[in-house]
Amino acid sequence: PVSCALFSDSLIESELFGHDRGAFTGAVGARAGRFERAAGGTIFLDDIDDVPMAMQVKLLRALQNRTIERLGSTDPTPIDVRVIAGTKRDLRKMVAAGTFREDLYYRLDVLSVTLPPLRERREDIPALAEHFFVKYFARRGKAPAPISGGVMAAFMSYDWPGNVRELENACERAAESSTCGQVSTGCLAASVLFASAPA
């Protein structure tokens, strides 16, 4: 996995493609990039929407030619990886706005999976909540406590602007706060307990 949002414009190329010794100040030795290290496997480019335009050209070339060039080298290195990209934005809108390359979009868009926000798939909430409660009670060395109907009703009616991460945090908080043998509404943050979903 590579979170493209974590790296500055100047570091992302080295992170993805690697560099040779002397490629830049501080490059005291050669280093393989993520594409080389994922050889024969999968590289997940999370937040692909954060890749700078100049790097998008190089990424497109790597995907088309199935080769990369380390920084400081002119020798192509073949790559054998499956590429999965994740985004939090609508790439088609970014293409229309000129902030994401159309050719790269079509190179990546072989098979698209759209995951709607949690508020649009509320039927997933009980299973996710149960999973997170098991996880966080286990961290405390305890069996999961039963979840009260009030907690599940609050979870089902809340809009979850932070999606699954926010649900996980709510479950962690409730598991840490639970002292009465049951996950009750008193264990929930007021923002979750008293908010309701739009009609």
| Both tokens assigned to 44 | 């997940």
Mean pLDDT per block of 10 residues along the chain (199 residues) reads 88 89 75 92 96 94 93 89 94 96 96 92 96 94 90 94 95 88 87 69
- The predicted pLDDT at position 196 comes to 56
pTM of the model: 0.72
